[in-house]
């Protein structure tokens, strides 16, 4: 190690997305040398994101070229809550939103969360759609949660996910007719009175539109970023446009746009049909200079597995499962990018 200066080596390691070296970005938080092995701690913000893994490999490779062994550890950021406070163990809060109902927002939220688990992350999902909670059915999680001694709700576990929904804390199956203050109260309870524990990601399924639930979340929680879901058709894209403006007003980064129901492949003849038009999601992303996260086909398997409580993202052997896995990688990479940009701006 006498001929190798660790920090000089780290200056040769570039960030694959930002193009600058990780040392000048402030990503390196600690460097130690013991018994000829270099230990490097880096703050990449998004556990199990492909780009974070790539940066770790680049660091190890840079030292390996010089005949030195390096061990890299990541130090994920937290969502910004005080230690011991609500969500204090949650590293990233990801909001999934849409401008209108019927675009498959909850489906995207569930499969995004399930795919994150498959990538090795610790994930929770909060069904914040107080008027029409669908997450319990989509995950086959219908029982009431346990309560801790200090009166905190314990999320229901399904498919490796920690699940919480307003359906768990309401009685009966009648319509929910709530005004703003009541919505604020129940969302506050779902955030503050739940024993979420330590999570890499908390995926929050918002109701469609730009109402009280969205405002409560954005005012009370440091949301890491939002994923906006639309279908290709013009009316859905127009409504999603208004959702973009809401996040902009609250300085919430939008991680990108997902185009759901982008095309239907006939299982009998193999021909593809653009039932809801095509390209609307990508055009929306381009108009706001945002990443296009990917397209999800109109696949009957999504509906079947959703009704059975088995998200299609759990099966990567299907085209739709792979589509969700790829868009999840993009969401995680862009989450890490948000953190890395914040550090480089400090």
Could you tell me which residues are annotated as the binding site? 99-106
Q: Would you tell me how many other CB atoms lie within 10 Å of the CB of residue 212?
A: 18
- Answer for the pair 332, 48: CB distance below 8 angstroms, yes or no: yes
Count Cβ neighbours within 10 Å for each residue of 95-123 and write b for 16 or more, e otherwise. Answer: bbbbbbbebbbbbbbbbbbbbbbbbebbb
Q: How far apart are the C-alpha atoms of 200 and 79, rounded to whole Å?
A: 10
Q: How far apart are the C-alpha atoms of 28 and 18, rounded to whole Å?
A: 15
| Binding-site sequence positions for ATP | 99-106
Query: What token pair was written down for 292?
Result: 């296009």
- Answer for the pair 98, 208: CB distance below 8 angstroms, yes or no: yes
**What radius of gyration do the chain's Cα atoms show?**
21
Q: How far apart are the C-alpha atoms of 237 and 163, rounded to whole Å?
A: 29
Centroid of chain to Cα 298: 22
- Comparing CA positions, the residue from 70, 64, 90, 66 lying closest to residue 30 is 70
Q: How many CA atoms lie within 13 A of 263 on its CB side?
A: 13
């Amino acid at each position: 190690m006498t001929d190798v200066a660790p920090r000089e080596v780290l200056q040769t390691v570039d960030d694959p997305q930002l193009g600058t070296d990780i040392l000048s970005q402030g990503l390196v938080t600690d460097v130690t040398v013991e018994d000829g092995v270099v230990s490097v701690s880096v703050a990449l913000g998004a556990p199990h994101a492909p780009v974070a893994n790539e940066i770790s490999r680049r660091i190890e490779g840079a030292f390996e070229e010089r005949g030195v062994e390096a061990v890299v550890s990541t130090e994920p950021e937290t969502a910004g809550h005080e230690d011991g406070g609500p969500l204090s163990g949650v590293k990233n809060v990801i909001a999934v939103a849409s401008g209108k109902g019927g675009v498959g927002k909850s489906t995207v939220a569930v499969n995004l969360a399930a795919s994150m688990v498959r990538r090795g992350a610790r994930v929770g999902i909060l069904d914040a759609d107080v008027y029409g909670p669908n997450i319990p059915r989509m995950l086959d999680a219908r029982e009431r949660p346990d309560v801790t001694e200090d009166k905190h709700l314990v999320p229901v576990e399904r498919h490796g996910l920690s699940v919480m929904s307003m359906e768990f804390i309401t009685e009966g199956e009648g319509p929910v007719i709530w005004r703003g203050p009541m919505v604020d109260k129940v969302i506050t309870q779902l955030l503050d009175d739940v024993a979420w524990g330590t999570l890499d990601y908390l995926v929050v399924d918002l109701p469609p539109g730009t109402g009280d639930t969205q405002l409560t979340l954005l005012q009370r929680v440091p949301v890491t970023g939002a994923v906006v879901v639309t279908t290709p058709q013009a009316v859905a894209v127009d409504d999603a446009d208004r959702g973009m403006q809401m996040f902009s007003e609250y300085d919430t980064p939008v991680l990108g746009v997902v185009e759901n129901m982008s095309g239907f492949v006939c299982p009998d003849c193999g021909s593809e049909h653009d039932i809801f038009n095509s390209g609307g999601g990508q055009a929306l992303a381009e108009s706001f200079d945002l990443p296009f996260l990917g397209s999800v086909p109109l696949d009957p398997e999504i509906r079947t597995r959703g009704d059975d409580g088995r998200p299609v993202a759990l099966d990567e052997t299907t085209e739709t499962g792979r589509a969700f896995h790829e868009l999840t990688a993009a969401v995680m990479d862009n989450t890490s990018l948000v953190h890395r940009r914040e550090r480089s701006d400090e």
